[in-house]
Amino acid sequence: MHIEWSTFFIQIVAFLLLYLLLQKLAFGPLFGMMEKRRQLVKDQIQTAENNRKQAEQLLEEQKLALQQTRKEAQDIIEQAKQISSKQADEITAAARAEATRVKDEAIRDIENEKHKAVAALRSQVGAMSVLIASKIIEKQIDEKSQEQLVEHYLKEVGGNQ
């Protein structure tokens, strides 16, 4: 096989011209578009990474806020328990004080009634003494009859109490 050098050089020149034209018109824009695409993908990956970090940070903040809210709720519940216990103690103390007051009042009323009864009894004893004395004076009785009268009188007084 024989090589024709003139055709060979023409083909090389034509190839180089075609390559330069393709480089300028096709490869340049194609490689530029590919570089833009590569940069876009890189930017999207960076944005996704930043978003993921922000999401993790927000998640941690929400967890902390939730823990704080739970602690506050627990504190509120504990405070409510303490307040209710204190109120229960106050109510119990007030009830005891009222019961003591009512009891003391009842004791005073009983004492007053007792004094009234004793006073009434004394007036009855006085009246009976006068009655006995008048009966004794009316009848001149002996000592045995007088003892019976006193016994009878003491039984009456004892029965009235």
Hey, how many other C-beta atoms are within 10 angstroms of the C-beta on 24? 10
Chain segment 82-122, per-residue pLDDT in tens: 999 999 999 999 999 999 999 999 999 999 988 888 878 77
pLDDT surpasses 90 at 68: yes
* pLDDT above 90 coverage of the chain, percent: 56
Is the model's pTM score more than 0.85? no
How much of the chain is in helix, strand and coil states, percent to nearest 5?
95, 0, 5
Chain segment 121-156, per-residue pLDDT in tens: 777 776 777 677 776 666 655 667 767 777 777 777
Write out the E strands in 8-157.
none
Chain segment 16-41, per-residue pLDDT in tens: 999 888 888 888 888 889 999 999 99
